[in-house]
């Protein structure tokens, strides 16, 4: 009886619906078979070693794809850390049979530290184009994000070219202090550097000898101390990075320039106290030590103790040194301790205050508008810049060198300023 009822129900369904169901079933079956065929012709995908990534830079990531006996149309999703900016989230490419191809995209980390990099997800279209076959390639690993190592490599090349003379010595101004050699007088030489005793000796031996001039070169083996603030103001983000990260990049760039010029370089990082102190050393090996020691440090929401940092420096460094303090300031009142601390360094040391300005404040100060809210923001920005200038004027009166520049431009400007100081023997 039940079988008869079931047959009656089936025959009651319209023939068109039954046909559609049968057609869909056949299509799904063909798609399943077509998709399974990809399994035997899957492409091979691998990721090149990532190495150390630079914060705030577009770091290249290279994927290698190898096809087999059939051409392949694929989509690749690499599971980079979620906090990274990426140029191409999904790679889409068609590869001929029996060929290989390298796919390159870039990632930009916005903070330092260790991150988990996941597997590679691959989708490959079936031979008949009816289905996508998905699988994962186990490539998960830990990656480390460092300060701007790419910028350090570029700076190292520039400094090397300057040292070897293949780049025009535009920044080598002034005269030196250490005796290098004697040579004959040439048109345009400073008469003050004629060595009359050496000239007299030459005339006694050879009556036709010309004047002898002392050649001086900049003094080497000086000391550069960098104090890096990691206090409250350094936690703010400027152009995507924390102000402290810009300061750390600047610290390493200046350290590289100092080591390249033969100086001893030391670094102190402070908030309410000096949390990291790396004594001055010379030699390129010292840069690796600085990178390893400074990379894990993060800014904190504490007010910096400038006087404590300067006191630590004075106790540790007895000889004269160029002291570069990298920080930021708001106004005269909030920066009174900074002014007092740097004033204490003169005249025994050569203090140099470097402040990291927010470019957005400059933009607001220069923006003309009739909107009330925007006009108020512009007035605040103008007032902040004016108070900074008053503070800088007081620092200069105390004999402190000053550099105030946008945070994303400070490294290059500070290195150039340091090279000029070296050339003019102001250290």
Domains 42-146 and 149-158+220-423 share a fold: no
Q: What is the pTM of this model?
A: 0.79
> Which of 147, 404, 411 is closest to 290 using CA atoms?
147
Digits of tens for pLDDT over the chain (427 positions)?
554 444 445 455 567 676 666 655 665 665 555 555 556 778 889 999 998 999 999 999 999 999 887 888 899 999 999 889 999 999 999 989 889 999 999 999 999 999 999 999 999 887 766 678 888 999 999 999 999 999 999 999 999 887 765 334 434 444 455 555 677 777 666 677 787 777 777 766 665 567 777 766 555 568 999 999 999 999 999 999 999 999 999 999 999 999 999 999 999 999 999 999 999 999 989 999 999 999 999 999 999 999 999 999 999 998 899 999 999 987 777 678 898 899 889 888 999 999 999 888 777 777 777 776 777 777 777 777 787 888 888 888 888 999 999 999 999 999 999 999 988 776 6
The whole-number pLDDT of residue 194 equals 81
Pairing of strands 113-117, 141-146: antiparallel
Where are the chain's structural domains? 42-146, 149-158+220-423, 178-217
The whole-number pLDDT of residue 174 equals 44
The whole-number pLDDT of residue 153 equals 95
> Which of 74, 119, 125 is closest to 101 using CA atoms?
74
The whole-number pLDDT of residue 36 equals 58
| Class level of CATH domain 149-158+220-423 | alpha beta
Fold assignment, 42-146 = Immunoglobulin-like (2.60.40)
The whole-number pLDDT of residue 167 equals 39
């Amino acid at each position: 009886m039940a079988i008869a009822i079931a047959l009656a129900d089936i025959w009651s369904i319209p023939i068109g619906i039954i046909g559609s169901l049968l057609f869909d079933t056949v299509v799904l079956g063909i798609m399943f078979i077509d998709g399974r065929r990809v399994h035997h012709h899957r492409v091979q995908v691998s990721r090149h070693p990532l190495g150390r990534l630079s914060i705030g830079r577009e770091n290249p990531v290279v994927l290698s794809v190898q096809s087999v006996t059939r051409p392949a149309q694929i989509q690749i999703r690499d599971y980079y850390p979620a906090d990274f900016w990426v140029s191409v989230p999904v790679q889409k490419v068609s590869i001929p049979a029996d060929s290989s191809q390298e796919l390159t995209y870039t990632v930009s980390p916005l903070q330092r530290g260790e991150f988990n990099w996941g597997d590679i997800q691959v989708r490959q279209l079936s031979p008949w184009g009816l289905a996508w076959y998905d699988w994962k390639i186990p490539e998960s690993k830990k990656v480390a994000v460092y300060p701007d190592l790419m910028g350090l490599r570029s700076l190292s090349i520039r400094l090397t070219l300057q040292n070897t003379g293949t780049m025009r010595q535009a920044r080598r101004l002034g005269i030196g202090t250490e005796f290098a050699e004697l040579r004959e007088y040439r048109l345009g030489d400073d008469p003050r550097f004629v060595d009359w005793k050496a000239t007299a000796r030459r005339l006694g031996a050879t009556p036709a000898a010309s004047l002898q001039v002392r050649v001086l070169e900049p003094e080497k083996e000086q000391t550069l101390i960098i104090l890096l603030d990691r206090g409250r103001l350094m936690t703010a983000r400027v152009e995507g990075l924390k102000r402290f990260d810009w300061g750390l990049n600047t610290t390493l760039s200046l350290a590289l320039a100092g080591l390249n010029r033969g100086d001893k370089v030391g670094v102190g990082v402070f908030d309410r106290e000096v949390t990291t102190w790396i004594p001055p050393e010379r030699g390129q090996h010292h840069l690796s030590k600085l990178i390893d020691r400074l990379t894990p440090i993060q800014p904190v929401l504490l007010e910096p103790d400038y006087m404590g940092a300067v006191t630590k420096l004075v106790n540790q460094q007895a000889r004269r040194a160029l002291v570069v303090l990298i920080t930021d300031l708001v106004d005269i009142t909030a920066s009174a301790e900074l002014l007092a601390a740097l004033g204490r360094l003169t005249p025994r040391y050569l203090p140099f205050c470097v402040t990291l300005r927010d470019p957005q404040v400059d933009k607001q100060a220069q923006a003309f508008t009739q909107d009330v809210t925007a006009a108020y923001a512009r007035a605040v920005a103008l007032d902040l810049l004016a108070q900074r200038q008053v503070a800088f004027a007081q620092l200069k009166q105390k004999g402190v060198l000053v550099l105030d520049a946008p945070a994303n431009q400070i490294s290059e400007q500070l290195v150039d300023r340091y090279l000029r100081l070296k050339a003019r023997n102001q250290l």
